[in-house]
Each structure stands twice: as C-alpha cells, then as structure tokens.
C-alpha cells in the first residue's frame, strides 16, 4: 500500500493557485470597471479576457480529446 | 437478466444526475445568478454533452477495489444487479434527507457488499479478503477525507481575496462569473460520471456475449447513458440543492463565485494528476469554506455534521443493502423477482413519502426587492382587514392558487 502524498500536495497547490488567480482577476475586473477614469475600462476588459483564458484552460483539461495529445 | 441490469444501470445514472445537480448549480441558484429552471436546464445540457466528450471507460467497474478475475471473483450480472440495487436505494434515501452524498461511493459500496456476499457464498464462510484493502484506503478513504478540506481551504482563501478587492456595490457582477464556473463543474461532472454507467452496461453486455470483449461502449449505450444522466439532472434534486445552497451558509454572489472557482480548480487539478476526488465532497467543502471566509457569515455546523455523517455511512449502508440483495439473488429466479419487487416498492415508498413535503424549484423563489414593502404599511393602518393578496411578479409560479396562498402567508406574518 503506497500513498502518493506528493500528488495530494500538488493538487492542493495547483487548485489553490488556479482558484485564487481566477478570483483575483475577476475581482480586479469588477473593481476596475467601476471607476470614471478612461484607463480603467480597457484594464477591466483585459482582466475579464484573462478570466476567459483560464476558463478555456479548464475546458481544455475537461475534454480528453483536447488534452490527451499533450498530457498523454 | 442483462436487460434488468441495463435498466437498473440507467436508473442509477438517473439518480446520479439528479443527486449531483446540486454540486454545480446550488450556489448560482442560491445567489440568484441563474433562475432555478434555467440552471438545471443548463446543467442537463452540459452533462449530456459531457457524456459524449469522454470515451475513456473504466475497464473494470471496481477499479481494482475488488479482486476480480481468475483468482478472485467472477463479477456476473447477478452481482452487478445486486450492487446497483443498493446504490440506487441509498442514493434515493440520501436525496430524501437532502444530503449531498457521493454517488460514486454509493456505487462502490453497493459493489463491495455484493462482492463480499458473493465470495462468502462461494467459500462457504465470511470472506472479506475479496476487497483490496490498500486500494480501498488510497482510492476512497484518504481522498474522501482530503477533498472537503482542500476545497474548503481554497474556497476560504478565494473568498477572502474576492471580498478584499471588490467593494460592496461591485459584487453583483460575480453573478455573471458564476454562470461560467458552474458550467465548468457541470461539464466535468458529465465527462466523469456517465462513464461509470457506460462501464457497467458494457461489462454486462460483454458477459452476456452480446458484445465482443475488449471493445468500448457502443454509440447506443453512450446515448442512453447521456440521456439518463441529463434527464436526472434536469429533474433536479431540489432537496440537495436546498441543503447545499441555503442550508450550510447564506451565500452571496462573491462567495458563490469563489466557491465555484475552488470546486472547479480542485476537481480539475485532481483529475489531471490522476486521482479523482468526489465532486460532491469537493462542492460541499467549498461551500463550508466560503461560509467561513466571509465576515459575519455563519456556518451551520449541525447541517455540515449531518452531511459528514452521511458520507461516513454511505459505503457501509449501500453495502448492506446490496449484500442482502445478493443473498436473495443467489436463490435463483425467484430471488431476482423478490429483489426487483422489493426495490420497486422501496423506490415507490420513498417517492410517495417525498411528496408529503415537496421541495421543488418554487422553493427558491427570490422576491423582487421592494415588492413586499407595501403590505406592512397597510397593516399598520387597518389592522383588522387582511391586505389584498399581492400579485407577485414572477415567471416561476405558473399556478395562480399557489401565488395567493404564498402572499397571504407572507403578509400575515
């Protein structure tokens, strides 16, 4: 009976980083979309686009046909 | 017998879908990001699509948990049948109690029970050696303990971040994000969970020589499973959605988004690394974590404790039911008939009992702000006459009578 503790640690760190990144980007997008200054709006849109990118990575990981070639 | 197994497998798929709608859709429904009917429809479609996306089917249903093959037990249709009976009954029972318990654990528990009884009958004495203890600990016990803790921790930190960055008036925007994150959870669920049923049906077909050994599920099997899980999802396990969305803690949009992000990230990370965590347990852990993360929010530990207790007894309970079923099935044809009748009676009983206190999509009606302000003033002026029933603007209540009843109740209290 071997327990792969390294895998568990990887999962915890990976999910922590991914979730926090997504939440930070989305929150920043909301926060920047709120102000009056002209530079805020494009910055906010950029944050949401990055969020969309993360979601795309998520879909990439879900669909086996997409990731099987890369991850094996 | 094979037909019976297929029907039961599809029924299990159905209960699986409707048990797990809550994982993805409880928080968007609770925060009002999605209307209840829209949410379950979206989840159903994504589950249906997900079932077609993945073709990796577990070669053995038990995944090495039960010692199969030459040295161990031959897993015939009778034992699969008994295992499915236990899994379905336990899924329905936990649904009745509104407990989010893992459907995979119910299936594993059922198969374990059936395998122990089957092996014991072969050996003539109690035989627990048929269960691979190491696999049981590494693949079920430890992930079950770690899943809610991991997801809870991630959701806790994510919630802190979300509340630190945004100001109060901006937080409604999280509702839109919730739609995307919860959709990801649904899709991941569809790709994982429909596979189990496909595996069971394909195994039964191969055992009955209706399909060549070593081949994957046919398109008919995939379509049937996808349909069953989508139908189950659409019918919505409203009781579990209520527990997860409202019972543990009161969820705000920012929390909902953080919890969904944590759920998605944890599930995807674990399935990519190679051990799948239970979607249900991850989602429940996230909701608890997000409840701890917001200042002023309280976690109802009593409800959380009930859920944890449900997880603890899922495997033994499903195993006992399946063991009994396997014992009866071994008696031959009439045993199978007896089990089928008893299972049908139990399902009917649970269904009838559930109608005594219905929980459906109307339970999640969110009044428009301001709608219920008027009657309070009226009551202050004329205390004797009850105010007129309010016309609640809502598309979610098609029946007129229920509308009147509800608004009367509200205005009295």
What are the tens digits of pLDDT across the range B217-270?
A: 788 888 898 999 999 898 878 888 888 888 888 888 899 999 999 999 998 888
Q: How far apart are CA B201 and CA B204, in angstroms?
A: 5
Residue segments in chain A with a per-residue pLDDT below the cut of 50: none
The residue written with tokens 């079920």 in the block is B140
Q: How far is CA B132 from the centre of its chain?
A: 26
Predicted confidence band of residue B97 (pLDDT cuts 50, 70, 90) = confident
Buried b (16+ CB within 10 A) or exposed e, B199-223: bbbbbbbebeeebeeeeebeeebbe
Q: Are B377 and B411 in contact (CB under 8 A)?
A: no
Assess whether pLDDT exceeds 60 at residue B130. yes
- Residue B119's pLDDT is 82
Dihedral sign of CA atoms B108, B114, B118, B120 in order: positive
B53 vs A contacts (CB less than 8 Å): 62-65
Q: How far is CA B41 from the centre of its chain?
A: 16
Q: Are B174 and B257 in contact (CB under 8 A)?
A: yes
Predicted confidence band of residue B370 (pLDDT cuts 50, 70, 90) = very low
Predicted confidence band of residue B372 (pLDDT cuts 50, 70, 90) = very low
DSSP state of B276: P
Pick from B340, B284, B371: which is nearest to B98 by CA? Answer: B284
Got the DSSP string for B210-240?
SS-TT----HHHHHHHHHHHHHHHHH--HHH
Q: Which of A15, A35, A43, A44 to mutate to test the interface with B (most CBs of B within 10 A)?
A: A15
Average pLDDT, integer, range B30-37: 87
CB contact under 8 A, B269 and A55: no
Whether A65 has its CB under 8 Å from any CB of chain B: the answer is yes
- Residue A5's pLDDT is 78
Average pLDDT, integer, range B160-182: 87
CB contact under 8 A, A30 and B184: no
pLDDT: is B136 or A54 the higher one?
A54
Q: Which H or E element spans position B192? A: helix B174-207
When mean pLDDT is compared over A12-16, B198-202, B214-218, B331-335, the highest value belongs to A12-16
Q: How many CB pairs under 8 A join A and B?
A: 131
For chain B, the maximum distance between any two Cα atoms, rounded to a whole number of angstroms, is: 83
Other CB atoms within 10 Å distance of the CB of residue B377 = 9
- Residue B376's pLDDT is 45
Q: Who's near A29: CB < 8 A, 6+ residues apart?
A: A44, A45, A47, A48, A51, B173
| CA-CA-CA-CA dihedral for B383, B388, B390, B391, to nearest 10 | -170
Q: How far is CA B370 from the centre of its chain?
A: 35
Q: Which of A19, A25, A59 to mutate to test the interface with B (most CBs of B within 10 A)?
A: A19
B396: tokens are 């979610």
Q: Are B347 and B136 in contact (CB under 8 A)?
A: no
- Residue B321's pLDDT is 92
What are the tens digits of pLDDT across the range B254-311?
A: 999 999 999 999 988 888 776 777 888 999 999 999 999 888 778 888 889 998 898 8
Q: Are B112 and B66 in contact (CB under 8 A)?
A: yes
> What's the whole-number average pLDDT of chain B?
80
């Amino acid at each position: 009976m071997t327990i792969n503790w390294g895998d568990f640690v990887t999962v915890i760190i990976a999910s922590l980083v991914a979730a926090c990144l997504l939440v930070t980007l989305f929150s920043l997008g909301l926060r920047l979309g709120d102000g009056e200054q002209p530079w805020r709006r494009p910055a906010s849109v950029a944050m949401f686009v990055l969020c969309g990118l993360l979601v795309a990575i998520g879909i990439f990981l879900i669909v086996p046909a997409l990731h099987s070639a890369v991850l094996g | 017998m094979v037909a019976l197994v297929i029907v039961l497998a599809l029924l299990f798929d159905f209960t699986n879908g409707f048990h797990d709608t809550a994982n993805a859709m409880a928080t968007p429904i609770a925060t009002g990001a999605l209307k209840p009917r829209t949410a379950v429809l979206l989840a159903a479609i994504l589950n249906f699509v997900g079932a077609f996306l993945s073709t990796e089917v577990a070669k053995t249903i038990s995944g090495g948990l039960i010692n199969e093959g030459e040295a161990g037990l031959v897993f015939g249709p009778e034992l699969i049948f008994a295992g499915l009976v236990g899994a379905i009954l336990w899924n329905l029972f936990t649904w009745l109690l509104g407990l989010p318990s893992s459907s995979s654990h119910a299936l594993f528990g059922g198969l374990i029970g059936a395998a122990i009884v089957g092996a014991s009958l072969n050996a003539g004495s109690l035989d627990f050696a048929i269960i691979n203890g190491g696999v049981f600990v590494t693949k079920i016990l430890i992930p079950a303990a770690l899943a809610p803790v991991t997801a809870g921790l991630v959701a806790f930190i994510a919630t802190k971040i979300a509340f630190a960055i945004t100001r109060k008036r901006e937080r409604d925007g999280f509702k839109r994000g919730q739609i995307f994150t919860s959709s990801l959870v649904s899709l991941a669920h569809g790709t994982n969970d429909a596979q189990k049923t496909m595996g069971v049906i394909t195994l039964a077909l191969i055992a009955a020589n209706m399909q060549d050994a070593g081949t994957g599920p046919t398109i008919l099997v995939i379509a049937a499973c996808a349909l069953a899980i989508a139908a189950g999802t659409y019918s919505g396990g409203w009781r579990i959605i209520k527990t997860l969305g409202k019972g543990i803690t009161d969820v705000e949009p920012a929390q909902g988004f953080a919890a969904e992000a944590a759920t998605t990230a944890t599930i995807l990370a674990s399935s990519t690394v190679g051990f799948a965590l239970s979607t249900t347990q991850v989602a429940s852990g996230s909701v608890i974590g997000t409840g701890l993360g917001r200042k002023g929010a309280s976690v109802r530990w009593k409800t959380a404790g009930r859920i944890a207790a449900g997880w603890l007894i899922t495997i033994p309970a499903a195993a006992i039911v399946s063991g009994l079923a396997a014992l009866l099935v071994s008696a031959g044809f009439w045993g199978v008939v007896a089990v089928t009748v008893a299972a049908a009676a139990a399902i009917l009983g649970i269904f009838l009992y559930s109608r005594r206190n219905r929980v459906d999509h109307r339970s999640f009606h969110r009044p428009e702000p301001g709608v219920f302000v008027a009657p309070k003033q009226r009551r202050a002026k004329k205390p004797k006459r009850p105010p007129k029933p309010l016309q609640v603007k809502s598309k979610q209540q098609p029946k007129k009578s229920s509308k009147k009843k509800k608004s009367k109740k509200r205005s009295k209290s």
